[in-house]
Amino acid sequence: MSLSLAIRRYGVAGILSATTLLMPGCGPNTSTVTAGFSGLDDAAISDSSRTGDWLAYGRTHDEQRFSPLTQIDSGSVARLRPDWYLDLPLDNALVSTPLAIDGVLYFVGDMNVVRAVDGASGELLWEHDPRIAEHLTYRRRASGWIHNRGITAWGDRIFQATWDGRLIALDAATGEPIWVQRTFEENSGLYITGAPKAFKGKVLIGNGGTESVPTRGYVSAYDAETGELAWRFHIVPGNPADGFESDAMAMAASTWTGEWWKYGGGGNAWHGFTYDAELDQLYIGTGNGAPWNHKVRSPGGGDNLFLCSVVALDPDTGEYLWHYQTTPGESWDYTSNMDIVLADLTLDGRPVKAILHAPKNGFFYVIDRTNGRLLSADPYAEVTWADRIDMRTGRPVETQNARYANGPARIAPSIAGAHSAQAMSYNPQTRLVYLPTIHAAGIFNDSDVDLENWAPGEFRIGVATSWQPEDDGARFSASLQAWDPVTRKTVWEVPQPGLANSGTLTTAGNLVFAGREDGRLVAYDAESGELLWQYDLGLGISAPPITFAIDDTQYIAVLVGFGGGVASGIMGSRAPNHGWRYGRQTRRLVAFALDGQARLPVQPPAGNAAPIATENFTVEIARSEQGEAPFELFCAGCHGPAAAAAGMAPDLRASAIVMEAWAFTSVVRDGARRARGMPGFDDFTDEELLALRHYIRHHADAAAAAR
């Protein structure tokens, strides 16, 4: 019996004894801790002296991911060892930030399952399964990004937002749902991978899906008590003939041309929500345009507000206050959905209430958050689309052919951005930002696209993109850099493996923690970048570490399980190089403490699944070629480009299911593995299924021959 089934059958209390099955090696359960809290409000979430807790996505409302705890510091960190762990055998790609409240950790795993565990032992206290397999509709099936970055807390409740668009209030004591609200229509192309944001008795959530279908982005705030919709802010204007929802939309509409509403416009806010309790303002980071190509979306030009912006809203009403647009007339998927961090800086001897923001476009922005005025903008990675940001106008000075008007253009950053959802942190003691950075360029080309007769559709973006040729000498790598937002330069930088490492944590112990694709959790000296400690967890880490304390013990906790949109998308053919395998290495939550005594079971060694070599299946090249497009569009996001998987889903080159038409049909078309996150593609024809099998087997044969 599954744990969720057991909970449904026996209730939470009845299942506690069974939870030991989930956590071998942690000794007998001695926990007397109970889940739940009360009275969590803005004062608490803003209270940086509440040092033992991690109360919001970025710990406190300032989203700095800085902890004042000092027991683990640059001197003692060498003694850091696993203290407890919780195995999560049904999880896979873990990217979320746990919350730590009064000694209990709350976190969301795969398939949006939320759990509460004793922060001192890892004992499971409750689990809530929102059963998203039952909501895997046609529209949301393709991305397969059934991961989620976090939850939020308010009052005595935990709030989660599900892949299929529900916002759910849970009783923090029991995990029982209190209310459920649908934030977009069930059959729309939108989805949610982000954490909701609680503030002032409300819970904010946006959505993703700019590329899935023509979509018009918005954020919504719900009453935390009742679940009623409090307000909604649209990010881009709709059809003027329908009237505008607000003056802000009328103003935004003057920056669009053509018939943009037919394409949705985009701007989806899937990440980057910050509440500024000091100034009583809400900031949202907005997404790119739908479709990507500005020439299609807004053929007469225009900035296209509020795409790729930091927008300040009245938290009570959702009314527009100010905005700063990082990428006017966006045309490269340079979203501004990345974290919005609040910091008090001293610039030219003057105290400044600043926003720190490093969007995908490669510039690091410091913005005066009292009014949205740009204070500085400097490249933190290779940038070729713009020479600089003009400080007089606050606008980028674009380079020639940045908009790929003259055929293929090599442009940096790539569509992955120089920084994505991987959290940066800010340490007010070192006054440095610890920024996970991606170094890559891409090729943009719309010369083969019929711009005049372009029609919107699923995954149609209006431009062809590809990765830079690897031999062009540019970097195709990742680094962690310490960025000084005052002197506007990199203070130290250390290379990281692959392209998609985790977000960062920094502490008053002069430390920076980060998880890496190669399975190592590492700690650097926050001032110098010197590597002080590392621990090999035997499986790639994509989730950001946090820290918390119970009684006299400081812990570092991290979810271990390689994956997420960045890992599946931008890593492309490199992601499988680590050899992480679906269902092989155990996914877990691990907590470290000084002189911790837990013995983690050794993970199976890395290594890709052996492709099945068979003569029973003769690949027909013509069929394989027919299978390429549907595979790369609908399957590669999880199963990997060219069917080389990186652990986020089974490696189909090693799958016997592909050999048999009936088995393949039952999984791919009939949805036999729906409960594990594999939706049914019920409109695939027999012909298409056959083409997919030939495409997979073609790559299986090639891989088998290469071994």
Helix (H) or strand (E) holding 696: helix 686-706
Q: Confirm or reject binding of residue 330 to Ca ion (CB under 5 A).
A: no
**Buried b / exposed e along 374-402 (16+ C-beta atoms within 10 A):** bbbbbbbbbbbbbeebeeeebbbeeeebb
Helix (H) or strand (E) holding 205: strand 202-205
Among 164, 333, 339, 446, the active-site one is 333
Q: Confirm or reject binding of residue 547 to Ca ion (CB under 5 A).
A: no
Q: Which stretch binds Ca ion (CB under 5 A): 210-218, 297-305, 617-625, 630-638?
A: 210-218
Which residue number, 420 or 554, has a Cβ lying nearer to Ca ion?
A: 420
| CA pair distance 594, 552, nearest whole angstrom | 11
| CA pair distance 259, 265, nearest whole angstrom | 10
Which residue number, 416 or 654, has a Cβ lying nearer to Ca ion?
A: 416
Which residue number, 102 or 333, has a Cβ lying nearer to Ca ion?
A: 333
Q: Which stretch binds Ca ion (CB under 5 A): 120-128, 145-153, 207-215, 300-308?
A: 207-215
Q: State in angstroms the smallest separation of the CB of 333 from Ca ion.
A: 5
**Buried b / exposed e along 419-437 (16+ C-beta atoms within 10 A):** bbbbbbbbbbebebbbbbb
Q: Which stretch binds Ca ion (CB under 5 A): 327-335, 477-485, 531-539, 644-652?
A: 327-335
Structure tokens at 583: 């269902």
Q: State in angstroms the smallest separation of the CB of 289 from Ca ion.
A: 9
> How many residues lie near Ca ion (CB under 5 A)?
3
| Region for residue 63 given its phi and psi (left: phi exceeds 0; alpha: psi -120 to 50; beta: otherwise) | left
Q: State in angstroms the smallest separation of the CB of 165 from Ca ion.
A: 18
CB atoms within 10 A of CB 589: 25
Q: Which stretch binds Ca ion (CB under 5 A): 154-162, 236-244, 280-288, 632-640?
A: 280-288
Helix (H) or strand (E) holding 387: strand 386-390
Positions of E strands within 109-184: 114-118, 124-128, 152-154, 157-161, 166-171, 177-182
Which residue number, 92 or 210, has a Cβ lying nearer to Ca ion?
A: 210
| CA pair distance 268, 214, nearest whole angstrom | 11
Q: Confirm or reject binding of residue 333 to Ca ion (CB under 5 A).
A: yes
Q: State in angstroms the smallest separation of the CB of 505 from Ca ion.
A: 26
Q: Which of 160, 281, 286, 288 binds Ca ion (CB under 5 A)?
A: 288
Q: State in angstroms the smallest separation of the CB of 214 from Ca ion.
A: 14
Helix axes 621-630, 686-706, angle to 10 degrees: 110
| CA pair distance 450, 462, nearest whole angstrom | 9
Q: Which stretch binds Ca ion (CB under 5 A): 131-139, 203-211, 461-469, 695-703?
A: 203-211
Is-contact 58 423, C-beta < 8 A?
yes
Q: Which stretch binds Ca ion (CB under 5 A): 68-76, 304-312, 314-322, 329-337?
A: 329-337
Which residue number, 268 or 585, has a Cβ lying nearer to Ca ion?
A: 268
Q: State in angstroms the smallest separation of the CB of 335 from Ca ion.
A: 5
> Is residue 344 exposed (0-12), middle (13-18) or buried (19+ Cβ within 10 Å)?
exposed
Which residue number, 276 or 333, has a Cβ lying nearer to Ca ion?
A: 333
Q: Confirm or reject binding of residue 210 to Ca ion (CB under 5 A).
A: yes
Q: Is 118 a catalytic residue?
A: no
Q: Cα–chain-centroid distance for residue 64? A: 17
Q: Confirm or reject binding of residue 143 to Ca ion (CB under 5 A).
A: no
> How many CA atoms lie less than 13 Å away from 16 in the CB half-sphere?
18
Which residue number, 253 or 415, has a Cβ lying nearer to Ca ion?
A: 415
Which residue number, 333 or 701, has a Cβ lying nearer to Ca ion?
A: 333
Q: State in angstroms the smallest separation of the CB of 135 from Ca ion.
A: 23
Q: State in angstroms the smallest separation of the CB of 211 from Ca ion.
A: 6
Give the residue numbers annotated as catalytic, written as ranges.
333
Note the residues at the interface with Ca ion (CB under 5 A). Answer: 210, 288, 333
